[in-house]
Amino acid sequence: MKAATAVKPFLLALCLSGCSPTAGVTYPEPIPGSITYGGQPRTKLAKAPVGSFFNHRFTDQFGNLVQETYVIQPDRSLLLMNRIVIVDDADSD
């Protein structure tokens, strides 16, 4: 039974380590077209719940469709979490 009690603190530590969004994780830098390119936006998303995610799509400087995922931080700033380039397979023929 001691093995089971030793696992609980480990699992708790593992779960809590995921709570800090910047602990050893690198995030993409904003590019032209990103909401946070040039700094945080002037207006804050006051009604959106802290921790909520949203996507932003735009065309980058090379003509690629880009989707970025942001999360709202406790201070109402935006954290760019992820960026993907959306490729249209129909154009590759």
| Digit-coded pLDDT (tens) for 33-74 | 999 999 999 888 888 999 999 999 999 999 999 999 999 999
Nearest to 83 by CA among 52, 50, 37, 15: 37
Domain span at 86: 2-92
* Tally of structural domains, the chain: 1
User: Against a cut of 0.85, is the pTM above it?
Assistant: no
Greatest Cα pair distance in the chain: 61
- Kindly state the tokens that stand for 19: 């709570």
Return all residues near 77 (Cβ < 8 A) that are at least 6 apart: 40, 44
Q: Are strands 53-59 and 65-72 parallel, antiparallel or unpaired?
A: antiparallel
When the pLDDT of each residue in the chain is averaged and rounded to a whole number, the result is 81
